[in-house]
Amino acid sequence: MGNYKVILITSLIIFLFVIAILFLFVVKEEKEPYCGDHVCEEGENYENCPEDCKSTQIEKGIKGHVTLYQGNCMPPAGLECLINKLSTTVKIYELIGKDDIKEGYYLGTSVWYEDSEEISGESCDCEITCELIGSRSEGWYMSCPEKDNKLIRYTFCEKLENPFECKIIKQEPIVTVISNQEGYYEIGLPNGQYSVLVEDPINENKEYCNSFDNEYACPVLVNDELVEFNIRIDHATW
């Protein structure tokens, strides 16, 4: 009878010990931070979990993720569709017209120059040629589609070489920021309208944009808040 009590008590102690271990394990698991639950918990910060923990220093500006799409993403795509968060340079510009973005890449505005002097604010889409040869109005004219020819200079130009050169004038960004390893970026900005472009590592780090409205390329409006603008660099087949 005594041995039975000893066995019973020993079994009870072992059972309670196992329950305690399991309880501590569950409590520990519950306390483990989970990145992606939109709660900034102990052990998480902006660097290791930007989805949950945002920078408290920026109250007004632009934030978002940069994502790179590659491979065959036509459904059903499976493992052939590669989607990765990207660490790269994000550039904030004054508003850029959508016509200045060629095949997704910003190349800058092209204008006509003679020597080092800009001839006109017109783009190089308008050709400069010698017109009205043999008349009093002979000279260099700018010819634009669906517009009347614009006089640049009266001169006898029939036998002269065209002295004008088309140059690309690269607009500089207002500010730049590098997205982290999770593709997350954020940057403080005053109220206003901006174009947000990103360097594309697949194409020689040219500034990339694939979001347009009726007038502008990758436009974002900042108005007293931290606006979310996600950037998708798309090199996939759809």
DSSP state of 212: B
Answer whether 0.75 is exceeded by the pTM: no
Nearest by Cα to 229 from 82, 91, 96:
91
Query: How many whole angstroms separate alpha carbon 38 and alpha carbon 106?
Result: 35
Query: How many whole angstroms separate alpha carbon 46 and alpha carbon 165?
Result: 49
Strand pairing class (61-72; 231-237) = parallel
CB 233 within 8 Å of CB 86: yes
Set out the domains of the chain in order of their start, with CATH numbers.
61-107+171-237 (2.60.40.10), 109-169 (no CATH)
pLDDT in tens, the chain (238 residues): 556 665 666 666 776 666 766 665 554 444 566 787 767 777 776 667 766 776 656 889 999 999 999 998 888 766 788 999 999 999 999 999 888 888 888 888 788 998 888 887 677 878 899 999 999 999 999 888 777 888 999 999 999 999 999 988 878 899 999 999 999 999 999 999 999 999 999 999 999 998 999 999 999 999 999 999 999 999 988 7
Nearest by Cα to 227 from 174, 198, 187, 173:
187
Q: Which residues pair with 221 in a beta bridge?
A: 193
Query: Can you tell me whether residue 73 is helix, strand or coil?
Result: coil
Q: Which helix (H) or strand (E) holds 228?
A: strand 226-228
Query: HEC states along 20-50?
Result: HHHHHHHHHHHHCCCCCCCCCCCCCCCCCCC
